[in-house]
Chains A and B, each alone.
Chain A
Amino acid sequence: MHGRVFILVYVDDLIVAGERFAGVEAIKSGVAAKFEVRDMGEVKNFIDMKVMRDKKTKKLTLGNPGHIMALLQAF
């Protein structure tokens, strides 16, 4: 009933994705019961990468525009 759920862990950042929303919610509440967590909602940023989803066209894009601009300004 929860379907499959995928958890991506990078140090202390987690992405939870699943076939059904109920599965994602179950993992989130399970982790929150044991650890102090902050629910950031839908993924927008992950390890400095900007994540954009277009649900209509089913496309996902990744970028680092802020990172490149910061580098250009620093050097």
Chain B
Amino acid sequence: MDTCTPNKTAMASGVQLDKTGQNLLSDGNWYAELVGSLLYLSTTTRPNIAFAVGVLSRFMSGPEQDHMRAAKGVLRYLRGIDRLRVMYGGNEALQGYADAGWAGDIDGRRSKTGLIFTLNGGPISWASKRQSTVATSTAEAEHVAAAMATEEALWLRKLLLALDVDGGAVPMGEDNQSCLALVNGPETTGRNKHVHLADHMVRDYQARGEILGQAADKPDRLRPRRHLVRCTPLDGCFT
């Protein structure tokens, strides 16, 4: 495939992959090997394929032709960005971003968390994970995402403090207004227990000065988190 036409995105938005049990690949190992290699790339220098790899890895048992086609689509995307490298430079402090893709998974309707942290101008920690509970609103999904990102922020902050780098509260970019309102204002409504937990956790750590929730508006130059919850063309932290 080294002469293939590059794709603009890692995975077309709107494409729903699921397990149909039909058109199974005759050799499933081939698929597992490809997805394994993509997984390695997504954890080292290609955070922008983390979402796509997360989707593909759900079909490791019983991969079908459609799944292989999607996996090869990620390869086509990589071909177009082969020369890109992750770059670090400067003295930018730790900055976190959290985002959620609501109910994108048609099997269980669970939402996706995307989170990324940058330091000195480059990404240092990221994840694209399916949430463990079903969120009934976008704000709820964003809340769970913010809580997951807060956990990561606390760990990174501790690590940096051990290296004598104290950047103060970690700014956390979040583009959901109702989620920010809930973090910043202590009103409670009749929400589920797990959301309640997420609320309190994020709010408490903000009160303790460990994190700082911020609005990350759409024109934000650095929007790397978007790649972790859905598929958009590349922009942001690559050179």
* A→B interface (CB under 8 Å): 47-50, 52, 57-65, 67-69, 71-73, 75
Contacts and interface: CB of A to CB of B under 8 A. Distances in A.
B107 interface: no
Contact of B75 (A47, A48, A59, A71): A71
A61 B82 CA distance: 14
Given A71-B78, A72-B4, A60 B41 contact: no
Contact residues of A: prevailing secondary structure = mixed
Nearest to A66: B82
Nearest to A46: B44
A63 B83 CA distance: 8
Contact residues of B: prevailing secondary structure = mixed
B48 to A, nearest CB: 13
Interface of B: 1-2, 4, 34, 37-38, 40-41, 44-46, 72, 75, 78-79, 82-90, 239
Nearest to A71: B37
22 contacts: A48-B40, A49-B45, A50-B85, A52-B85, A57-B89, A59-B89, A60-B87, A61-B88, A62-B85, A63-B84, A63-B85, A64-B44, A65-B83, A67-B40, A68-B78, A68-B79, A69-B82, A71-B37, A72-B4, A72-B78, A75-B1, A75-B75
A70 B185 CA distance: 52
A16 B38 CA distance: 28
A26 to B, nearest CB: 19
